[in-house]
Structure 1
Amino acid sequence: MGSEKKFVQEGINRAQITEYFIKQLDRAGYGGMTISRTPMGTQITVFAEKPGIIIGKGGRTIRKLTSDVAELFNMDNPQIDVQEVKVPELNAQMMATRLANALERGIYFRKAGHNMLRRIMESGALGCEIITSGKFTGSRSRVQKFVAGNILHAGKPAEELVDDGFATAIKKLGTIGCRVRIIPPGVEIPGQFHTTPRTVEEVSTEPEKPAGVVEILDEAKAETTIEEEIIAESPPETVVETPIETTEPEREEVKADLEEEVVVEVPGEADEETRMRGEVLEHKHKEYDYWHPVSRVHKKEAE
């Protein structure tokens, strides 16, 4: 067999195995497969939403699946491994199968397409494209597309970076094909670039000070900060007022000095005595034993 025929036959076998797994593993949530050649045989990795259904009780289902693949597709010692899909919304085959099931249940195609697109983009996909083709309403078939984000259509990146899934919905008017293409998160799309903000250095307008002046200022600042720290750490001083003690004789002398008044005798008439008490002129009659100001008016004796 030539190399071209060999590649064609491998592609046919891959398509037949995929169709077989879609039919057999529909209840398990089939999400695609990978085939790799090893010295021990052919390694087939199946991705599913519910791997327990594929394995079966005691591994009975997966053993039967392995024997059927070896007989139907002439494979030598096939080994099937099952892996769980953590995020079904980022698996194109699972989303295509869910969309086909929704259309078969009678959900309007626009509502089903928009809901599926929103769920895929909310899961973190960089881009998604949903294409449905067939008889939706009326007698003529048409194509309806739902697109969001970035999507690749041509070249090697479109084959390697884009996850592709296809499913068929069978209705009374005919069959409807559902194709879902997803770019998962974390993929570097060719030609994509990112802008980084440029940092502008600020130029100071203050004149530069000599090195010696700067050192002196730094030392002065350091000393002031040290003094402030010492003042802050030291406890506040308490001021105690000590009363001035005075002896008893001193108190009596002060009291006598305060009470002492200046008395100056001034000569007056024969029947009275006169004196200056401070700034007041007083006199005392001989008949009376008390002093009174001279300015006081005397009462006349009754006749």
Structure 2
Amino acid sequence: MSAVKNVMKNTYRNMEINEFLGQQLKDAGYGGVEIQKTPVGARITVYVTRPGLVIGRKGTGIKDLMAKIEQRFGLPNPQISVLEVTNPEMNPQIMCNRIAQLIERGTAFRRASMWALNTIMSQGALGVEVSISGKLRTERADFEKHTVGVVPKSGDVAGKIVRIGISSVLTKMGLMGIQLRIASKAELPQEFQMVEGGTPAAAAEPATEAAPEAAVEAPAATETKVEQNGQS
């Protein structure tokens, strides 16, 4: 049980660090964090769109950030490295934060959602889904979902190509939660693989008597399909 408790404690602490960095680096375009334990100390990699705001003049900004993390979360000797996000439109956390900022400035949540969908799809995404819940229009909590393209929800493909970003915004009506799912077309696994030096399976198999029967039955199947399409 001690090992399980230790894992749960580290996971909860990483979630708190992620939330803390999201609030501190909101203006720098915060896009996520990776935390690794090393024998020397904790190694923290921060992804932002504007690294200059995080580093500061002569490194003062990143030194203050390391001091705050060490004092608040008790991480010994934290080493922070800042990396720039090359394509922020395909980062779900960055786009989720942008939707929250638009809503906070007074933009309607539907307009902000449509803007995010069009922006992400213009970058070549396979599909996008924006879910907004909370007190949207009245005192009663509501839920809306907007989807464009194809966004797998389960299976091995969903785990490989879909990334999720979560954010929240406090408005006059109350708290609103935002979840953004992006399905990347570039990470989609290939359906076919070219094998060099091999023999095709169809050419290797000898011809059998069942082949002419299959060739005769093929037109009938095609005619049936055309009839069904015509009926529909």
2: distance between equivalents of 1:13 and 1:65? Answer: 16
1:2 deviates by 1.1
- Which runs of no fewer than 5 residues in structure 2 stay unpaired? 195-232
Letter in 2 for 1:172: K
Q: What TM-score does the superposition give when structure 2 sets the normalisation length?
A: 0.77
State the shift of 1:194 in Å.
Answer: 5.6
Cα RMSD after superposing both structures: 2.1
Which residue does the alignment assign to 1:148? 148
Tell me the distance in 2 between the aligned counterparts of 1:183 and 1:6: 33
Counterpart-to-counterpart distance in 2, 1:111 and 1:170 = 17
Letter in 2 for 1:50: R
Q: Go from structure 1 to structure 2 and tell me whether the alpha carbon gap of 1:155 and 1:3 turns closer, same or farther (over 3 Å shift).
A: farther
Report the Cα offset of residue 159 of structure 1: 4.7
- 1:156 to partner: Cα distance: 6.1
| SS of residue in 1 equivalent to 2:31 | strand
1:13 aligns with 2:35: no
Residues 1-303 of structure 1 aligned to structure 2 (within 5 Å): 2-154=2-154, 158-159=158-159, 161-189=161-189, 193=191
How far is 1:150 from its partner?
2.5
Q: Distance in 2 between matches of 1:63 and 1:101?
A: 27
Structure 1 stretch 158-167 or stretch 14-23: which is displaced more?
158-167
Pair 1:157–1:6, CA change in 2 (3 A):
farther
- In the alignment, structure 1 segments of 5+ residues that lack a partner are 197-303
Per-residue Cα deviation, 1:125-150 (whole angstroms, up to 9, x for no partner): 12211110012212322111111222
One-letter code aligned to 1:117: L
**Aligned with 1:28: secondary structure?**
coil
What is the SS of the residue equivalent to 1:126? strand
Q: Which amino acid is the alignment partner of residue 138 of structure 1?
A: T
Higher relative contact order (CA 8 A, sep 6+): 2
Q: Distance in 2 between matches of 1:173 and 1:88?
A: 30
Displacement, 1:160?
A: 5.0
User: How many Å apart are 1:111 and its aligned residue?
Assistant: 1.7
Give aligned-pair identity as a percent.
36
Q: How big is the shift at 1:117?
A: 0.5
- For 1:79 and 1:22, the matched residues in 2 are separated by 18
1:136/1:153 CA distance change after superposition, 3 Å: same
Aligned mates of 1:155, 1:38 — CA distance in 2: 33
Q: Could you tell me the TM-score, scaled by structure 1's length?
A: 0.60
Structure 1 residue 167, shift from structure 2 partner: 1.3
Alignment size in residue pairs: 194
